[in-house]
Amino acid sequence: MAKNGAGAPRVETLLVELLTEELPPASLEALACAFRDNLTNDLESAGLRGTGSAARYFATPRRLAVSITRVLAVAPDMREKVQGPSLNAPPEAVAGFARKHGLAPEALSQAETTRGFVYAVERTVPGARLADMLAPKVAAALAALPIPKMMRWGDGDAQFVRPVHALVMLHGAKVVPGSVLGLEAGRRTRGHRFLSKGWITLRDADAYEAQLREQGAVLADFEARRLEIERLLQAEAGAQRATLGEYRDLLAEVTALVEQPSVYVGAFDKAYLAIPHECLTLTMRQNQKYFPLFDARGALLPKFLIVSNMRVADPRQIVGGNERVVRPRLEDARFFFDQDRRQRLEERVPQLARVVFHHKLGSQLDRVQRMKILAGIIARSLGADDRPAERAAELAKADLLTGMVGEFPELQGVMGRYYALHDGEPPEVAEAIEAHYRPRFAGDQLPQSMVGCAVALADKLYLLAGFFGVGQQPTGEKDPYGLRRAALGVIRILVERALPVSLHDLVSAAYRVLPKDISQAHDEVEVFVRERMRGYLAERGYGAHEIEAVLSRMFVRLDQVPRQLEAVRAFSQLPEAPSLAAANKRIANILRQAGDVPTDFDPGLFSQSEEQALAGAFAAIQPEFERAYKAGEYTEALRTLAALKSPVDAFFDKVLVMDKDERVKLNRIGFLGRLHATMNRIADLSKLAT
């Protein structure tokens, strides 16, 4: 056994690196993290990770690597107990078991199991050896990576996301022998494609990062490289008296494209600023991976930042090359913008008849005609002008037929707004065309006008009602029509814009505009939205019991739910809350057991002082409860219930609800039914009982 010192197994840092061709940048960091986690877990299971072991991943365009500290050359031996035949087994079976383990039958021990006492053997199992285990573990860790499509290369059978050219497996300074993906392990790697001096022979696993940086001009640590790029970008933007706008997503992608980052400034002709800035920024970010620059007011500047993989003293050639590359892209954007404006949006609407939306729901023209009716209905329910809402819905999908949106689908709605303004449409119509896609993603801005809200709700409710109506609900992880996003959009608009409309009424309106042969999956749509509501509220910090207390009621308006939740939270803090919640649950059980609950009760039939006291307390709080409830002051309404705590406790302590006298029993049940209905008008308080 290898030793560090007398009697101690050798503990060293382990390094595994695959040198590859350019890896897909969008998934590079995820692949590296998964490789680290898979290999670390496998070594842990084999007992090869020592106390205090830590793991890191390294990822560049041409390498995936994992470094794990305090890895043992040989895992500790383990004692295990092997179970054998029952104590009542035939002697031949017992003798055979003993002989298999090199023992006499009388040397066997005994063990108690779920099937009774059995013969057993205690033995020492030698610890796993890293040299024997590493190559299979690395192969298994790579095979488990989330790679949708594999590649083959050369004449072998090896498969990976990209061809692999070298394999490093070092334990301390020693190469761990083994073969993975048809490559024998070694200690040599390559640095930067242009700035390195060739192959690098690694001294040991701990020297990996420093040698790549010093000899190979490579910043191997993904996060360190991202921070360095961000520092360079911010510094250069500051030098240009500019800002970067939204750059986080592009930063992650660019980090996966370079090994030795440098940042340079490029420029383009100011004349291109006449094109909508969304077109310019998208083409620079998406096609060229450039970082556009903006002034202090957020206006686009005719400059951009280039993250280069080359660090040179004179970057003019790099900058000039990038400026030449971006110019045709900007020229394409100008061409599309100019061409698109030659035809009005309203002239494109009839052409939507040639675009199939869904074979059971018709064309895009059918879609916008139904959206137009639905948007008008919703606008009127919001107290908004229905004419601009209907006009915006009619034009909402026309920009799908423009050249710009054909080139950049992400600009649908955005370009519709620009073209509507160019056509002389009212600003509120143009704004609603852009806003009807909102929110596009988590945290996205919501429509600001009531007209925009109406069209956005019409778009999303049409999707939900239509696709549920034709049986195209999301299943598992599959949601090809974005119905979960649509439901969340409906929730956010109704809740965060505090719109006083009923979800039930909105879904009903959506089904009224659909063809008669479409199934009325009304309840299914409402349940689907309610389920998305649970996740939405949980993300906003509400507890599971609070959410269940409110959503278990058949709530009508989503905009009221946050106030109901705040009221439930405040009620939960009252010292009387636990007792009242428990009593509420008890009442619910009594009513469930009773079956048919009388709709009224006669106070004159109350014979016991405890039920008279509870009825009096209930009558006393009812006016204030009703006033607060009708005013939407839900917290105050629930606070009034605190006065019922003592009389409720006394009632259940002294009063037998299921009295032998049928009239008395039904009267008490009727009273409890009225009390229960009042206590649960805002939320099901029994859900708070633990």
pLDDT at 6: 47
Cβ neighbourhood burial of 52 (10 Å; 0-12, 13-18, 19+): exposed
Q: How confident is the model at residue 675 (pLDDT cuts 50, 70, 90)?
A: very high
> Position of tokens 């796993």?
128
CA distances to 64, 148, 203 from 160, in Å: 12, 10, 28
Q: At which of 216, 237, 270 does a domain end?
A: 216
Q: How confident is the model at residue 127 (pLDDT cuts 50, 70, 90)?
A: confident
Local structure of 302: helix, strand or coil: strand
Q: Is beta strand 116-125 parallel, antiparallel or unpaired with respect to 78-86?
A: antiparallel
pLDDT at 690: 66
By C-alpha distance, which of 207, 183, 173, 86 is closest to 135?
183
| CA pair distance 436, 344, nearest whole angstrom | 19
Residue 553 placed within a domain: no
Q: Is residue 205 a contact partner of residue 12, using CB atoms and an 8 Å limit?
A: yes
pLDDT tens per residue, range 508-531: 999 999 999 899 999 999 999 999
pLDDT tens per residue, range 348-381: 999 999 999 999 999 999 999 999 999 999 999 9
140 and 94 within one domain: no
537 and 487 within one domain: yes
DSSP state of 52: T
CA distances to 1, 67, 137, 187, 265 from 71, in Å: 14, 10, 14, 18, 46
Q: Is residue 87 a contact partner of residue 110, using CB atoms and an 8 Å limit?
A: yes
The count of domains in the chain is 5
Count of CB atoms within 10 A of residue 107's CB?
A: 10
- The CATH number of whichever domain residue 431 belongs to comes to 1.10.3210
Cα angle value 297/300/302 (rounded, 5°):
135
The pair of three-digit structure tokens given for residue 129, joined into one six-digit string:
């050896």
593 and 535 within one domain: no
23 and 148 within one domain: yes
Q: Is residue 10 a contact partner of residue 73, using CB atoms and an 8 Å limit?
A: yes
pLDDT, average across residues 132-155: 93
Q: At which of 190, 216, 242 does a domain end?
A: 216
| CA pair distance 392, 464, nearest whole angstrom | 20
- The CATH number of whichever domain residue 619 belongs to comes to 1.10.730
Local structure of 153: helix, strand or coil: coil
pLDDT at 552: 86
pLDDT tens per residue, range 39-92: 999 999 999 999 999 999 999 999 999 999 999 999 888 777 888 899 888 989
Side chain identity at 35, as an amino acid letter?
F
User: Which residues touch 9 (CB under 8 Å, ≥6 apart)?
Assistant: 1, 2, 3, 72, 73, 74, 76
- DSSP one-letter string for 590-646: HHHHH-SPPS---GGG--SHHHHHHHHHHHHHHHHHHHHHHTT-HHHHHHGGGGGHH
Residue 404 domain boundaries: 346-541
Is the pLDDT score of 5 beyond 50? no
Rg (CA), the chain: 35
User: What phi and psi, each to the nearest 5 degrees, are found at residue 661?
Assistant: -75, 115
Residue 549 placed within a domain: no
Residue 550 placed within a domain: no
Q: How confident is the model at residue 3 (pLDDT cuts 50, 70, 90)?
A: very low
pLDDT at 7: 53
Longest CA–CA separation in the chain, Å: 101
- DSSP one-letter string for 597-613: PPS---GGG--SHHHHH
**Distant-in-sequence contacts of 529-538, Cβ < 8 A, 24+ apart:** 529/464, 529/487, 529/490, 529/491, 529/503, 532/484, 532/487, 532/488, 532/491, 533/491, 533/558, 533/561, 536/488, 536/491, 536/492, 536/495, 537/561, 537/565
Local structure of 76: helix, strand or coil: coil
Cis? peptide before 439, omega within 30° of 0: yes
pLDDT at 197: 82
User: Which residues touch 185 (CB under 8 Å, ≥6 apart)?
Assistant: 135, 167, 168, 169, 175, 176, 177, 178, 179
Residue 546 placed within a domain: no
What do you get for the CA distance between the two ends of the chain, in Å? Answer: 57
50 and 91 within one domain: no
414 and 326 within one domain: no
By C-alpha distance, which of 531, 668, 528 is closest to 605?
668
Q: Is residue 379 a contact partner of residue 385, using CB atoms and an 8 Å limit?
A: yes
pLDDT tens per residue, range 185-219: 999 999 999 999 889 999 999 999 999 999 999 99
CA atoms within 13 A on the CB side of 426: 12
288 and 144 within one domain: no
User: What phi and psi, each to the nearest 5 degrees, are found at residue 327?
Assistant: -60, -45
135 and 96 within one domain: no
- DSSP one-letter string for 496-557: HTT----HHHHHHHHHHHS-TTS---HHHHHHHHHHHHHHHHHHTT--HHHHHHHHTS----
Residue 208 placed within a domain: yes
pLDDT at 332: 94
Residue 402 placed within a domain: yes
Is the pLDDT score of 328 beyond 60? yes
Residue 274 placed within a domain: yes
- Return the axis-axis angle of helices 544-551 and 561-572, rounded to nearest 10°: 130
User: What phi and psi, each to the nearest 5 degrees, are found at residue 521?
Assistant: -85, 50
| CA pair distance 456, 393, nearest whole angstrom | 9
Q: At which of 123, 147, 182 does a domain end?
A: 123
pLDDT, average across residues 166-177: 97
Is the pLDDT score of 420 beyond 70? yes
Rounded to the nearest integer, the mean pLDDT of the chain is: 93
| CA pair distance 172, 9, nearest whole angstrom | 13
389 and 265 within one domain: no
| CA pair distance 373, 138, nearest whole angstrom | 60
Q: How confident is the model at residue 388 (pLDDT cuts 50, 70, 90)?
A: very high
| CA pair distance 103, 87, nearest whole angstrom | 16
427 and 451 within one domain: yes
433 and 394 within one domain: yes
CA distances to 194, 367, 545, 641 from 493, in Å: 52, 21, 24, 32
Residue 330 placed within a domain: yes
pLDDT at 8: 61
User: Which residues touch 502 (CB under 8 Å, ≥6 apart)?
Assistant: 556, 557
pTM of the model: 0.80
Q: How confident is the model at residue 321 (pLDDT cuts 50, 70, 90)?
A: very high
